[in-house]
Structure 1
Amino acid sequence: MSLHNIFDISGSALSAQSVRLNTTASNMANAESVSSSVNETYKARHPVFSAVYESLSGSKYSGAGVNVLGVVESAAEPRVKYQPENPLSDENGNVFLPNVNIVEEMANMISASRNYQANVEIANTAKTLIQRTLNLGQ
């Protein structure tokens, strides 16, 4: 593996963590939005990642990055809250709130942010190593 592959690998991880941060931010922004029916209620979204492998020789594999397979909606039921005074309440006086867990989303945001930061450091370290290698002959 050359040092140039490191940029591809950390770049794919940066892109994946950016998707994760965006979906988490979307979940948190919609956490308290109410609706009048179960079908109209916002559903929490989560990205799905897969590792990308590059064949070296025989049965040995080397990591080559992260691939975002897509974003899936949570299958959990929305929260139901009794608010008969709300104009969006149904005939029973209930409103429906998204199935977003704020504590879980904050943990996802912190984790994605730290992963993003770590991959920026990896790219910076690889850049520094390449620069120092080029300066060896001077």
Structure 2
Amino acid sequence: MTFDALGIAGTGMNLHRRYLDATADNLSNVNTASAMGGEAFRARYVLAQEGQEHGAFVRSVELGDGQGRIVHQPDHPLADEDGYVRYPDIDLGEQMGNLILAQRGYQANAAVVDRARATYESALQIGRQQ
């Protein structure tokens, strides 16, 4: 039972770590400009899937739209002849919310691992006393 809890929490930690990595990547590129001839930074979205036996796993990482937002910024070095550049279509508020959810999910799974470890250590102590 303890090992099941460790396995399930481990898959949850891995999933939330990947979710944190994708969100951090999105946040760090929210202001990355691209020339009009290319694609804007494409946001990463982690899709989860329930495991067949237990836990959760990363099913896939999907990319957002490369069209992005077109901004008139004639003084930008990447601006085209009409003064436009592309920025990613990333909602900063949504990403900050995702970051909080992923962080709390990771912390919750880490707490389960700590409790399962403590339970296992207690069981070993009981076995040594007999």
More strand by share: 1
- 2:62 counterpart of 1:72: yes
**Equivalent of 1:95, from 85, 91, 95?**
85
**Equivalent of 1:104, from 90, 94, 97?**
94
Superposition deviation, residue 130 in structure 1: 1.7
The amino acid that maps onto 1:47 is: V
In structure 1, the residue corresponding to 2:52 is in which secondary structure?
A: strand
- 2:43 counterpart of 1:53: no
- More displaced 10-residue stretch of structure 1: 125-134 or 104-113: 125-134
More helix by share: 2
Superposition deviation, residue 67 in structure 1: 1.1
Structure 2: gaps of 5 or more residues: none
Structure 2 distance, partners of 1:129, 1:29, is 40
Q: Give the CA RMSD over aligned residues.
A: 1.6
What's the CA shift string for 1:45-104, capped at 9, x where partnerless?
1111101132xxxxxxxxx11111121011374111111122211222111100111111
- Output the TM-score relative to the length of structure 1: 0.85
Runs of 4+ in 1 over 3 A off after TM superposition: none
In structure 2, the residue corresponding to 1:99 is in which secondary structure?
A: coil
In structure 2, the CA distance between the partners of 1:91 and 1:115, relative to structure 1 (3 Å rule), is same
Tell me the equivalent position of 1:44: 43
**Equivalent of 1:131, from 118, 121, 125?**
121
The amino acid that maps onto 2:19 is: R
- Output the TM-score relative to the length of structure 2: 0.90
